[in-house]
Amino acid sequence: MKHRTIIALATCLLLPAQLAPAQGQVELSVLQWSHFVPEHDPWFDAWAADWGAQNGAGVRVDHINFQQIPQALAGAIDAGEGHSLIQLLTPGAAWVEGLHPLNDVNAAAAATFGERVSTCATASYLPVVDTWYSFALGYLPGPGNYQQGLWAAAGLPQGPTTWQELYETGRTIYAEAGVPLGLGLSPEVDSQAAVYSALWSFGGSVQDESEQVVLNSPETVAAVRFLAQMQREAMSAEVFGWTPASNNLALIAGEVSYIINPVSAYRSLQKIDPEAAADIHFTPALAGPEGAYAGTNGVLAYVIPRYVEGRELELAKKFLLDHAGDYGDAVEHSELYSFPCYPATATQLDAWLDHDPFGSQPADKLAVLKGAGEWTAYVGHPGPANPAVAQFFAENHLVNMVARVALGEVTAEDAVAEAHARAEAIFDAWHAKGLVGGGEGR
């Protein structure tokens, strides 16, 4: 017994010594959100450890819920210490003054990997200060996920291709089969992605390319009126109280006919009930009167806070470029959930989408995601995701204005005018800070 105790104590004393970086070795710490496809994180942790061994650095990876990333980053910048690299999912331009410019990393990536998906640029570059404040490696396309059996019975086996079809046939399915559409109208990211998708497809937007607020437009009013009507006639009230997991759970339970979401819900269903998963099919962005856009459910962008210096900073930048170089593995281990910002880093993607290596039936059902970069847009579209856009997003105004009309609290015109006024105030504050452009017209 005594020997065992001594061995246990010795192990406890020696183990930290083995795990800790060697004397003088730089330690890189990475904070990122827990991936929605659980298989991704063990792969990433192993990849990071291997990278550390090859580059003479200790690498520690911490995973937290994506909703806690903003406060973690704010705390780290304020304290002047913390992780070397922090991965964001939501817009990060508000932190730009506390971050290292990554113009060099983005330039090096462009030179090495070539063309970048425009959504990733929108999420990383702040034109008014000509700064790349983050390095985006991947993005999450948000296709439509639908139950083919229900939609085929309603006459659309290929699923809806337009917002009008979604509304009309979704309403029919709800009336006849009792299964509603599942587009959230709650203060959370998936709801926001769905509402932004409709807004852009109807020709509205929060700002224009020159970062002027243009929310109050006939197009926005039409989009809001349309979504509110669709909620009243083709959805249940539960969408007003959804969390980010709710649409996934509803699809898995077979209780909604259509959701807008990356493939994570489908991947979960494949593991739980392959037969039900075989009935889930996908649509690209739905077309509206002015185009077909789908708001991305997130961009996987890393930032390096200013407190990171010297060798740690050099290694952090190298880590990012090396990670980008191996991004094909990340796409594969995310089970085709994360898409590459630089298509050249995952050249196998189209082949995987044509023949899903994760057992889709039929094997090519994900092929509709080919070219997702062309119809995926990020908050701020058609302008950059500047800090004002990010604050407007964080305050959930777009979702709230639709929900208020759906619940009959205000007219679409009033809801849009009110949200526009708030957007103006937010934009003015950030413009005064010099982080939003549009000086001429403001």
Locate all alpha helices (DSSP H) within 186-283, ordered by sequence.
Answer: 189-201, 218-234, 246-252, 264-272, 274-278
291: enclosing H helix or E strand: strand 291-292
Region of 238-246, 267-275, 288-296, 320-328 interacting with other proteins (CB under 8 A): 238-246
Residue 396 in the binding site for other proteins (CB under 8 A): yes
Minimum CB separation of residue 421 from other proteins in Å reads: 8
Minimum CB separation of residue 97 from other proteins in Å reads: 4
Residues 251-270 contacting other proteins, CB under 8 A: 253, 255
| CA–CA dist 301, 246 (Å, integer) | 25
Region of 11-19, 223-231, 232-240, 269-277 interacting with other proteins (CB under 8 A): 232-240
Q: Which CB atom, from 357 or from 434, has the smaller least distance to other proteins?
A: 434
**Local structure of 399: helix, strand or coil:** helix
Residue 407 in the binding site for other proteins (CB under 8 A): yes
Helix, strand, coil shares of the chain, percent, nearest 5, are 50, 15, 35
Residue 90 in the binding site for other proteins (CB under 8 A): yes
Exactly one of 85, 99, 120, 269 binds other proteins (CB under 8 A); that residue is 99
| Both tokens assigned to 208 | 């224009």
CA distances from 179 to 169, 175, 234 (A): 11, 8, 9
| CA–CA dist 141, 107 (Å, integer) | 24
Q: Which CB atom, from 263 or from 435, has the smaller least distance to other proteins?
A: 435
Minimum CB separation of residue 145 from other proteins in Å reads: 17
Exactly one of 57, 59, 61, 73 binds other proteins (CB under 8 A); that residue is 73
Exactly one of 124, 246, 261, 296 binds other proteins (CB under 8 A); that residue is 246
Exactly one of 238, 279, 329, 413 binds other proteins (CB under 8 A); that residue is 238
* DSSP code of residue 238: G
Q: Is the Cβ–Cβ distance between 138 and 262 less than 8 Å?
A: no
Compute CA 21 distance to the chain's CA centroid, rounded to the nearest angstrom: 33
Q: Is the Cβ–Cβ distance between 123 and 91 less than 8 Å?
A: yes
Q: Which residues bind other proteins (CB under 8 A)?
A: 70-71, 73-74, 77-78, 90, 93-99, 185-188, 236-243, 246, 249-250, 253, 255, 387, 390-397, 400, 403-404, 407, 409, 418, 421-422, 425-426, 429-430, 432-433, 435
